[in-house]
Amino acid sequence: MKRKGFSCLLLILMMVFVVAYSSVVAYSSDDEAVPANGQYDFKFADTELRHNFMAQAEDYLLKTMYGGVPVFANSSFQIFSGRLQPLSEQFVPLMGFGILYGQLSEDDSTVIMDDGQPGKPGEYTYRRAASTSITQFNQWLYEGSDESDRMEWFYDSPYDFHFNNDLTGYQLVPSMAADYPQPVNPQILPTGKEVSRDWRIAFRDDLEWVFHPDTDAAGLSTTIDANDFYQTYKMALEKQWFRAISGGGDFLSGATVIEKAEEFVNETAKWEEVGIKLIDDYTIEFTFTENQSEWNVKYFMASFVMTPIHLGLYERVGDRYGTDAHLVAYHGPFYVEYFEADKIMRYKRNEKFHTPDLVSGFTGMNVLFIEDSEMRFKEFEDGKLDWTGIPSGKVVEYRNHPSVKRAPGATTFRIMINGLETAEKQREKFPDGYWLPEPILANQNFRLAMYHAIDRQRLAHDVVKTSDPQAYHFTDAYLVDAEEGIAYRDTEWGKIVAADMSPATYGYNVDAAKAYYQEALRETIDAGFYRSGDIIELSLLIFSGSESQALFGDFIKQTFEETFNDPDTGIKVVIEVEPTEFPAIYTNYMQVGEFDLSIGGISGSALNASSFLSQYRSDNVGGFTLNWGFDTNIPEIEVAYTDYDGELVKELWSFDAIHQALQGPAEVKDGALVKEN
């Protein structure tokens, strides 16, 4: 492994409230953009305007490569057994294929169960596998996506996403809630949007708990009402349970902060001051620090986390609550009948669920825990599973199988870049680090050269095989306006992003790559960084233990070394591929600037793409900045729109200011976001 050193690791109504303007081409090239100034809040602006600003921000990332070089997206190939009939034959963003709402055409007596024997006649058990077991049943304490995937089957939520009538999209409807959120003292914005800081949620009067057969439930209440929600929220904040105070969608952070919740956690406010009030046995009122729309409130409550624990059982078992399947109570469409860590989890349909017809196709579900993807697929081939993902080694063989479906993912994997250029800048940013940066990575022309050098279609389909070619930062899974239900990539604004960067070939243009490389060499030679005959050694970190990542690393090495070999100066790039363990590849290298190039990928809220822009800001406000050597608060982005008075304006914005304005109130001065010290 090559080392250059030792590594370590509300709304404020806008002073100019804007509405949409359909096209920036109405302005001539002679129109001069003026820096934006004032208070802006685009959180409740119309869809066109939000898409406009979002597109300009993503286009900026691609023109500068400040967010890294997009290479592929994490799609997957899935295969279904002959008896599994999902609700939708087409993949629908957020909803998938609707397996939960599907049917099994034959009962368990026709298939082999996990014990190697045929199942019982009259039972319809959906059989699948997962890579890791669950370690936590208390929804307020879970940490990983694997636990979330298990919990969504045995916990309900106040509001839930269902397919729309024609199975082309989704709708967010009441589930444990009895009705849609009701505003208290609402105000109507100039766009017609109704907002309020205070919202009431009424709960159903037929909600019931169900217990594991081994649970000591004698004398415990079986009914659920608003008191359970209210007391759980209080306990979660008192005990500072993880999902109550962090992780997104909690009471303290993001766009739906509850009034005085943080002060209560810090013991500077009493519970009575917190914006969570019990109105009656079936109604709770929330007071947020900023105005919210009905959709915001529904989305905030569309999580199984925002449901109660069984307070009586918690009092009986204490902090053991949720540590095993019989030390918790359930209220979802299924409950856990049997659990053996790292081996199997068996669900049974909850006959007390308020809407049993919702999941009438299954009487239960079995989840085998098998870490190796090849072993999971072998179980499917042996007839023991109804669904599984196809490992990369089997993709070519099964890609055209009639039971195979492709599911696009939400993560764009990027080549992250350390563009700090010099040792002085590196030490200034990371005073405790040891890395010596490579100057050419700070050059914008070289970053663009890397973008255009990669044949993404070949990489995704022929090399990595289980991925999609991706030339953008946001995949088809993301929406900017969740109420509209239209994928951001499919909007007219999404289509203008990087329109002049070879979109038909996913950005691949070897001639452009070589031209950008030559220009980068000219600039860096003039700056005194290189001279004729130099060899530029760059390390590329990849995830260790993955065959597809090893193939990816070899592909990038070959591509860059062939493309970046200038005959005039004799300067060539040499790539050393370095397999690196997860999560150290992030925490010990990318996040602390101890690298040249590295593969990496994180995803955001698919229903609020603009919130994910925080991860690209150079001030690391999102806590996960992975590229270094630039300033995203410089007003370099021209945005044209029509203001509330109908005036056409063309303004200069910084990336940071756009992100903040799309999320809520933003003070902008001379085009830059004004930040608190």
Give dist(CA 531, CA 298) in Å, integer. Answer: 60
Q: Which residue has the tokens 């069984």?
A: 310
In this structure, are residues 560 and 554 in contact, taking their beta carbons and an 8 Å threshold? no
How many helices and strands, by DSSP H and E, does the chain display?
17, 31
CA atoms within 13 A on the CB side of 115: 7
Q: What is the 3-state secondary structure (H, E, C) of 7-21?
A: CCCCCCCCCCCEECC
Provide mean pLDDT across the span 277-304: 96
> pLDDT value at position 466?
79
Provide mean pLDDT across the span 511-537: 98
- Which residues, in sequence order, are CB contacts of 574 under 8 Å at separation 6+? 535, 536, 537, 538, 561
Out of 248-257, 415-424, 536-545, 573-582, pick the least confident.
Answer: 248-257
Helix (H) or strand (E) segment spanning residue 562: helix 547-563
- Per residue in 376-423, pLDDT tens? 999 999 999 999 999 878 888 898 899 999 888 889 999 999 999 999
Tokens of 139: 């929804």
Band (3; pLDDT cuts 50, 70, 90):
very low
Q: Which residue has the tokens 């119309």?
A: 46
> pLDDT value at position 10?
25
In this structure, are residues 53 and 42 in contact, taking their beta carbons and an 8 Å threshold? yes
Tokens of 296: 């915001």
Out of 311-315, 371-375, 390-394, 453-457, pick the least confident.
Answer: 390-394
Band (646; pLDDT cuts 50, 70, 90):
confident
Mean of per-residue pLDDT scores for the chain: 91
Residue 546 has pLDDT above 90, yes or no: no
- Per residue in 550-559, pLDDT tens? 999 999 999 9
In this structure, are residues 664 and 255 in contact, taking their beta carbons and an 8 Å threshold? yes
- Between 327 and 75, the more confident residue is 327
Band (30; pLDDT cuts 50, 70, 90):
low
The DSSP code for 593 is T
- Per residue in 336-372, pLDDT tens? 999 999 999 999 999 999 998 899 999 999 999 999 9
Backbone conformation region of residue 401, classed left if phi is above 0, alpha if psi is from -120 to 50, else beta: beta
Band (477; pLDDT cuts 50, 70, 90):
confident
Q: Which residue has the tokens 């709402």?
A: 101
> pLDDT value at position 465?
83
- Per residue in 522-531, pLDDT tens? 999 999 999 9
The DSSP code for 587 is I
Provide mean pLDDT across the span 37-47: 91
Q: How many residues does the chain have?
A: 677
Q: What domains can you pick out in the chain, each with its CATH number?
A: 18-73+411-673 (3.10.105.10), 77-131+334-407 (3.40.190)
Residue 543 has pLDDT above 90, yes or no: yes
Helix (H) or strand (E) segment spanning residue 230: helix 226-238
